[in-house]
Amino acid sequence: MKLSVVIPAYNEAESIPETIHAIYEVLEKIKIDNEILVVNDNSSDNTLSVLENLSKKYDTLRFITNEGPNGFGFAVRKGLENFSGDCVAIMMADLSDSPYDLVKFYATMMEGDYDCVFGSRFISGGNTIDYPFAKKILNRFANNLIKIVFGIKYNDTTNAFKLYRKKTIEGLKPFLSPHFNLTIELSLKAIIRGYSYKVVPNSWKNRKHGVSNLKIREMGSRYFFIMLYCLIEKFFSKGDFKKKW
C-alpha cells in the first residue's frame, strides 16, 4: 500500500530540508512505497527554490504550489486533492512529528485494516517536548470540550498528525475549513460518518526554526464553527453521509 505524506509549507525554507530528509530516510529504510508531497502555500521566502533543489536529491519528493486562497487548511486540501497514494498522512513542515511515529501509524493501519489512524500526544506513550504552556492549556480545554460535546473518547482532535485511507478522504468531502480547524473537521467527520479508527500515541516537539503559523486568537470562532457544523451533521443528517462500504 503506497503511502503519501502531505506537508503544507509556508515560509519553511529553513525547516523543510531536515524534515524531508528525515521522512525520506525512515520510509526508505523500512521500504515503504511512498510519495512525499509538499504544498508550498505561496511562500514569500525561498521555500520554492529549496524544494526545487531537494527534488533533485529525493526521488519520492513532489511539490506543488497553492496559489490561493492561502492558509493551512487550503494548503492541506490542495494536497488531499493531488496525492497519489492508497493512504495519506498529514505532517508538519517543521519536523514536530516523528517519522518513526508515521511508520507506526502505517503499520497499525495495515495490521488492523483501519480506515484512519489518529495520533494522540496525551495518552500513555505519547509526549510533548517544549510545548508552550499557554498553548497546552488551551489545547486541553478545547479537546476536552470536544470529547464532552460529541461523546467520544479521543482526546487530541486538534492534532494534525493523522493517517487516512484514500477512500476515507473521498468519503469526508466536501471540506469547509480554510485554516487549522481542518484538523478537527477531518477527524470528527470520520468518527460521525462511521469510519473505523485506531488511536495510537505519538510524540511532538517544538520547531527549531521560524515561528508557528497558528494564530490562537484567530482560531476560537473557527474551531467553534466546525464543531457546530459537525454537531449538526451528527444529529440532523439522518446518516446521509455514513460510510458506504
Q: What pLDDT, in 10s, does the model give residues 167-181? A: 999 999 999 999 999
Q: How far apart (Å, rounded) are the C-alpha atoms in residues 86 and 1? A: 6
Whole-number average pLDDT of the chain: 93
CA–CA separation, 171 and 190 (whole Å): 8
Please list, in sequence order, all residues whose beta carbon lies within 8 angstroms of the beta carbon of residue 178, skipping any fewer than 6 positions away.
69, 71, 73, 74
What are the structural domains, with CATH classification, of the chain? Answer: 3-236 (3.90.550.10)
User: Do you find a cis peptide bond into 174, omega within 30 degrees of 0?
Assistant: yes
Kindly report, residue by residue over 68-126, the tens digit of the pLDDT.
899 999 999 999 999 999 999 999 999 999 999 999 999 999 999 999 999 999 999 99
- Whole-model pTM over 0.85: yes
| Distance, CA of 176 to CA of 73 (rounded, Å) | 9
